[in-house]
Chain A
Amino acid sequence: MVDWRWDFTWQILPRLLAATGNTLLAAGIGYAIAVVLGLVLALAQRTPFNPLNAIVREAVEFIRSTPLVLQIFFVFYVGPQFGIRLSPWTAGMIAIGLHYAAYLSEVYRGGLESVPKGQWEAAKSLNLSMPRTYFRVILPQALPPSLAGMGNYLVGIFKDTPMLSVIGVAELMHTANAIGSETYRFLEPFTLVGIIFLLISLPTAAAIRLFEAWTRRKLGLS
């Protein structure tokens, strides 16, 4: 049967935990980009200027239909062909941020569409300005229905960070791979990576559900 070596486990654990920091950092930065850029993409699809709507719509569709790992390669390797060198971190953050911005824009779009038409009409009847209508009336109501989707993609982006290892971002998977090729032992590093992911993503998912319920109460929506 398999021989799991505890001494080896304790030896590599600090290195893996340090890499976990990088994984969380990558997920955090990528998500921050995605949250903001996703809103821009969602709002761009609501402008009265039709060509812009169509272009953004199609771009979102394109990003959502193609593999993230390919997009990471594309962003990382295309720059040098034109004399722009991006570091693995920069390229990775652009790729993963853009990828999830496309997903989040769909979440926001659903949220925005769930706000009843009467809310827009009431805002207009009170003569609220367009920015005020969005920020004070529409977005606060579009947020709660978006939270579940936003939470799922927060966990999703975290689980997709291992793909950054392909261009050499020293996150968890990259480190486990390195340990494997140095020691020819794959059992412990890959299993530990799986466990670390579980230990972070399961409680996060649970916390998001609580946060969602709390927000609804806070905004007086339930």
Chain B
Amino acid sequence: MDTKDVSDFPLAIEGDPAPMVSFRKVTKSYGNLTVLDALDLDVAEGEMVTIIGPSGSGKTTVLRMLMTLETINGGVIYVDGKPLTHMERGGKLVPANDRHLRQIRSKIGMCFQHFNLFPHMTALENCMEGPVHVLGLTKQDARERSEELLAMVGMADKRDQHPSRLSGGQQQRVAIARALAMRPKVMLFDEVTSALDPEVIGEVTNVIRTLVSEHNLTMLMVTHQMGFARDISDRICFFYGGRIEEQGAPDELFGNPQRERTQQFLSAVKEAH
């Protein structure tokens, strides 16, 4: 199927409520290698969806495409009802320009495996950078907002430290605060605990737990922490070979997987732990 032709795709997604994120027949390939094959995935507002699967299954690519760090080869991604990868021109969808991308991208925040804090800025400056220079907040307002968020992730006392003085877990918590300071509607967590020492994983997962219970954020997460995923997710998607092999509520998917590949993957993961 030719997914480059987007003339059949809607200009906007209606519905009550409309999904916050919607992948429609999204394809991603590098040369001959297809990473994602006509992916369809909807995420409702306030929903926490965790993507699991073997490495190379395309799970990180899903988040990176949504953050526009990767371009797509076919299909359309919608955010909050509006197309992200495309925009409307004369009643038709055309590939998005920079301005459109910037506009829609502002609804999305992301945390990375390697934190990617700006090393020459303190924790507080990292958090204030976007609010001041992208959202146009006054320094005063941005500072208040950032300090509040740093307090929420338990990093208030380290706000004037540079990242090189912080542990991995502390850096990741600052990174979460930095992303939240932009007031995104969708948060993406890309293997945020994979680069951490085992003893500090808890301090990061606890912050995410708080977010899930106290905020109405839409979240997509890629993780290898199966127990954590089962605890906090509304839905689990198991990716295999560039498609969703199986998805469902955590207890269903972990407790009673239907597909053979899911069973194999889960038992392999269990053995490793």
Residues of A within 8 A of B (CB): 116, 118-119, 121-122, 124-129, 132, 136-137, 140-141, 219-222
Majority DSSP secondary structure for residues of A touching B: helix
Q: Residue B119 at the A interface, CB < 8 A?
A: yes
How many CB-defined contacts (below 8 Å) exist between A and B?
A: 71
Q: Identify which of B109, B114, B116, B164 contacts A222 (C-beta below 8 A).
A: B164
A-B contact pairs, 25 of them (CB 8 A): A116-B116, A118-B112, A119-B116, A119-B118, A121-B112, A122-B116, A124-B69, A124-B105, A125-B67, A125-B108, A125-B179, A126-B129, A126-B134, A126-B178, A126-B182, A127-B105, A129-B102, A132-B133, A140-B120, A141-B118, A219-B119, A219-B120, A220-B122, A221-B119, A221-B164
* Chain B contacts with A in 47-99, Cβ cutoff 8 A: 67-69
Measured between beta carbons, the chain B residues less than 8 angstroms from A221 are 119-120, 162, 164
* Chain B contacts with A in 105-138, Cβ cutoff 8 A: 105-106, 108-110, 112, 114-122, 129-130, 133-134
Measured between beta carbons, the chain B residues less than 8 angstroms from A137 are 118
Q: Is the CB of A127 within 8 A of B122?
A: no
Q: Is the CB of A122 within 8 A of B117?
A: yes
Q: Is the CB of B69 within 8 A of A127?
A: no
Q: Is the CB of A127 within 8 A of B102?
A: yes
Q: Is the CB of B67 within 8 A of A124?
A: yes
Measured between beta carbons, the chain B residues less than 8 angstroms from A129 are 102, 133-134
Measured between beta carbons, the chain A residues less than 8 angstroms from B130 are 126-128
B108 to chain A: closest residue by CB: A125
CA A219 to CA B133, docked complex, whole Å: 20
Measured between beta carbons, the chain B residues less than 8 angstroms from A220 are 119-122, 162-165
CA A221 to CA B119, docked complex, whole Å: 6
Measured between beta carbons, the chain A residues less than 8 angstroms from B67 are 121, 124-125
A207 CB to closest chain B CB (Å) equals 23
Q: Is the CB of A128 within 8 A of B69?
A: no
CA A121 to CA B118, docked complex, whole Å: 11
CA A126 to CA B67, docked complex, whole Å: 10
The interface bits of chain B over 209-229 (1 if a CB of A lies within 8 angstroms of the residue's CB, else 0) are 000000000000000000000
Q: Is the CB of A125 within 8 A of B110?
A: yes
Known: A127-B106, A127-B182, A141-B119. A136 touches B129 (CB 8 A): yes
